[in-house]
């Protein structure tokens, strides 16, 4: 596929600048008016809190937490909560904006937000994490709301944290309000299919792209970086499609077997091993950097930001990159990939399966009526295929990369809503 962009994005590893670089390119191409451009390039609300929490050793520690709402033009804002030492305001700002574009592409009636707490959950006890999560919920109780702002899990948070949030929030509001968060445990109103939804969507996006590129799944070799919620399910569904997954990785390193790795065994190994791949048998240990540069057809970065950068982009050999993680490719690396003819299915499209099923969870909570798994999966797959087509068509129409095509599709939609609603 030969495509050209006439406007070049500047390179940066700052996630917010990286988002803006692509946003500016797309804005120029569609001739976005200056007023709407100014509205969309800044978040609509930033809330920062400092949370004192009792630690198990009797001390009190202060944790910094954020909730940033980029836009609520298309509906209540939606976005996960991340626990990591890397969390800072610019990271959360970028992730919030990406959620705006992602929800527009997934065609769900939400705006974009993100939350985060700067902490190292691996060094905290369950009790400390519970007190921190409940303190954060109390501090954000006027921000969150099932018609206002709806959190969900992200890195290092999951159904357990969502259960604490729904419990704390419901106690404050004196009513049980499960729709205030998604990604809840099933017995608290979670949706069937939510846990695996992002990884499954990554597979659907990859299969749609492979059809366009005439790649046969049975002759395709894949490498998947990150083996958490997104990466492990993406690898599992790739394998189910006949794709040979030759490398997987996590924070402990990467594991390579040219004959293919048995993904279900790797998942069972990680589950029995504190969710880590250390000691995985039947694979050679390599580094995460080497995994990215392997001679594979399909590369799925599913761990974190800034993995494909100006430093390693020239060594990338995959024909197709499907971004399970948010922001794994820097804006400068994008240009090089495009010149090399490597097709990138961008994060704001490829990992939208998770927020789509989160939306289904919220709909089910509000109706008090729950769908069977087949219905969730069928609706989510159809939605991902439609989103892929919309972005593909935009990229073909404007002769730009899939990423810029995806931004163009999302920005047109949000800009139209801003113009119709107006402001005062
Ligand atoms: P997770 O915490 O479940 O898993 C993260 C994985 O990445 C773990 O296996 C971890 O060991 C690994 N990892 C961490 N640092 C690494 C490094 N330096 N090199 C290689 N691997 C490393 O998180 P997740 O929910 O799977 O999220 C992963 C990415 O996908 C994030 O960018 C997140 O924002 C994005 N995402 C997640 C969802 C979702 O539904 N969970 C939805 C959309 C996007």
The verdict on the CB of residue 332 being under 6 Å from ligand 1 is: no
Q: Which two tokens stand for residue 362?
A: 């919220």
Strands (E), 260-351: 284-286, 298-301, 320-322, 343-345
Residue 10: predicted pLDDT:
60
Residue 18: predicted pLDDT:
87
Rounded Cα distance between 303 and 21, Å, is 22
Catalytic hit among 78, 93, 102, 114: 114
Give the pLDDT confidence of 108-159 residue by residue, as tens digits. 999 999 999 999 999 999 999 999 999 999 999 999 999 999 999 999 999 9
The verdict on the CB of residue 407 being under 6 Å from ligand 1 is: no
Residue 4: predicted pLDDT:
41
Q: Which domains does the chain have, with CATH numbers?
A: 40-188 (3.40.50.10860)
What SS3 state is found at 300? strand
Ligand 1: centre distance to CA 79 (Å): 15
Ligand 1: centre distance to CA 102 (Å): 17
Which contacts (CB < 8 Å, 24+ apart) does range 153-156 have? 153/80, 153/81, 153/183, 153/229, 154/79, 154/80, 154/81, 154/82, 154/95, 154/114, 154/116, 155/80, 155/82, 155/83, 155/84, 155/228, 155/304, 156/82, 156/83, 156/84, 156/121
When pLDDT is averaged across residues 230-250 and rounded to a whole number, the result is 98
pLDDT band per the 50, 70, 90 thresholds, residue 12: confident
Q: What are phi and psi of 110, to 5 degrees?
A: -135, 155
The answer to whether residue 2 is catalytic is: no
DSSP result, 107-161: T-S-EEEEEEEE--GGGS-HHHHHHHHHHHHHHTTTT-BTTTEEEEE-TT--HHH
- Assess whether pLDDT exceeds 80 at residue 317: yes
Residue 13: predicted pLDDT:
81
- Assess whether pLDDT exceeds 70 at residue 236: yes
Which residue's CA is minimally distant from atom 32 of ligand 1?
325
Residue 262: predicted pLDDT:
98
């Amino acid at each position: 596929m030969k495509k050209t962009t006439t406007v070049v994005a500047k390179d940066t590893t700052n996630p917010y600048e990286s988002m803006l670089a692509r946003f500016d390119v797309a804005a120029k191409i569609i001739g976005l008016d200056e007023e709407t451009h100014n509205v969309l390039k800044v978040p609509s609300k930033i809330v920062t809190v400092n949370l004192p929490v009792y630690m198990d050793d009797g001390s009190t520690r202060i944790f910094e937490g954020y909730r940033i709402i980029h836009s609520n033009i298309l509906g209540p804002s939606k976005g996960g909560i991340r626990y990591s030492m890397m969390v800072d305001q610019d990271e959360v700002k970028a992730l919030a904006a990406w959620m705006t574009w992602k929800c527009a592409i997934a065609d769900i009636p939400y705006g974009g937000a993100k939350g985060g707490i700067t902490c190292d959950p691996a060094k905290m006890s369950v009790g400390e994490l519970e007190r921190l999560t409940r303190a954060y919920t109390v501090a954000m109780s006027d921000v969150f709301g099932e018609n206002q702002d709806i959190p969900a899990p992200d890195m290092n948070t999951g159904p357990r944290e969502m259960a604490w949030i729904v419990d704390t929030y419901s106690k404050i509001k004196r009513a049980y309000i499960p729709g205030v968060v998604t990604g809840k445990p099933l017995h608290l109103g979670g949706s069937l299919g939510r846990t695996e939804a992002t990884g499954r969507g990554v597979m659907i996006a990859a299969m749609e792209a492979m059809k366009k590129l005439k790649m046969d799944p049975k002759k395709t070799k894949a490498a998947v970086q990150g083996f958490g919620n997104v990466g492990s399910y993406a690898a599992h569904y790739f394998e189910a499609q006949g794709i040979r997954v030759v490398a997987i990785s996590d924070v402990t390193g990467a594991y390579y077997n040219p004959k293919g790795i048995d993904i279900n065994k790797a998942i069972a190994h990680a589950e029995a091993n504190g969710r880590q791949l250390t000691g995985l048998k039947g694979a050679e240990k390599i580094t995460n950097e080497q995994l990215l540069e392997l001679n594979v057809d399909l590369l799925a970065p599913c761990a974190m930001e800034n993995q494909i950068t100006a430093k390693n982009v020239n060594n990338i050999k995959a024909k197709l990159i499907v971004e399970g993680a948010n922001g794994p490719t820097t804006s400068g690396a994008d240009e090089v990939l495009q010149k090399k003819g490597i097709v990138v299915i961008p994060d704001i499209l490829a990992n939208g399966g998770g927020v789509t099923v989160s939306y289904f969870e919220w709909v089910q909570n509000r109706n008090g009526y729950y769908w069977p798994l087949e219905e969730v999966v069928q609706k989510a797959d159809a939605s991902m295929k439609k989103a892929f087509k919309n972005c593909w068509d935009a990229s073909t129409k404007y002769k730009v990369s899939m990423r810029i095509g995806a931004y163009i599709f999302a920005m047109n939609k949000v800009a139209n809503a801003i113009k119709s609603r107006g402001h005062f």
